[in-house]
Structure 1
């Protein structure tokens, strides 16, 4: 597949696949983990570079993604598949011997957005769910039915930077007193009805839907846990590649790499308690999709790839 091209068997467009391959530096006999399988565009490219002794581990907490992984790659003896969040990757027995590369492609996938029944999209009416793992946790509808207005507003502001978070939260609480919010179209129309008219080109519900989805799926907490697990699991010289679509995710990835690569600013008046020993080095800074990919895959416009390598001397 060429950069920006669709995966032949799924029609899905994996983001920055060439840049990811360059970042991971896949070797024939290495062991790699795709912690967010999705529809397997990145995984397929990794597998193409592996020899008979290579190993590819696939994770996703979405059962539909796991079903696709089993169908497409389950018969390959080099592949192991596990349903679960990448936050728990270090708990999977298959990772215990260490990995040479880990990919985390964050956020909601195109297939999830395209299926109305998953409840991720305000543009497709469906049940107000938003769970990436529909068997775990509470749905967006259940949370909105019980959360106080202040909690809802805090989520909308923190994860969506929604300037009208309190107005929207009050409207949600008032509406649910009359009838529960159970459909994505209901929520989207409610949000649009209380938003001031302006020059903003995006749908009025965009930021709120994003914020609720991040909260329901604990995406930022999972990312922090997953990065720690990845660092523990990578072999010296191994590579970590993280694709973010939101500034909050990218900030966490950027700060994680910096924290383990650079000594923190010290106070020259105080003695250094413990000498800083770097365990990571950043590779290439923030990487973005090129013009050719953006022309065929607009979703890549907000994507940022960060790559880090575990140092040889790291524990």
Structure 2
């Protein structure tokens, strides 16, 4: 029954259409969502929301919850992807240099139900529609719904999910987002610490489910969600954030640092420890010892970065004022 869908109908589409789908599916990919949310948190102002930093931090926590929820459900149901999901057919015009990136975008591995892209896109773009103040609510929902529909369709066009995978993924995302909205609301100000805590609990629960079914990669994905969410929770509870803006140079530096931490975490998850560090045994236990602090630091740094930038800027401003007085 799950195999009934559009995979067979889309299998004969022109390679140019499939290539466009591989590009558009990045709108729901982990790297794109978290990069976009980090930049929103750093650069968002009162034109987007009355409390832009609070909203930005809340949405980062929503994204981490989405990773935990999809990981837990995939570990619970253990349903495979469509045949051939792990292989890519490269367009003739695609340069050799771009083929690894294309293969990463156009293929899927491990379990397929529900679609993680559908869950993540629904929760993140739905969260943007729910928490931002730009435009009117109906317009925000229409835009978010359109993006979710595009991302979901690309997963079926690429042959990495059945139709039911993305439909259920959207439904799960809507339910989870509804719950998180209730968790986050506190008067007119969202509470990022509450959502980060919920994401931490969801990540731990996902890890328990994955451990019970013996799925090492899913345990590590859950650890990324739990470790990252706890990092965001701890920083927000202890320090909150500065309202000072993050300038473009600081944003580039912050993106590089956070990106390196996330790449390290996912590198340990996908490649393993011997390749990354070359000295420790490649076991789930040792990989967890690497993934947890890396993901913790990555999200903690995103949340703390405006504070770090403000503290670094103050001595420079003081020196400038002193020189002006002289």
TM-score, L = length of structure 1? 0.25
* Greater fraction of residues in strand: 1
Which one has more relative contact order, counting CA pairs under 8 Å at least 6 apart? 2
* Greater fraction of residues in helix: 2
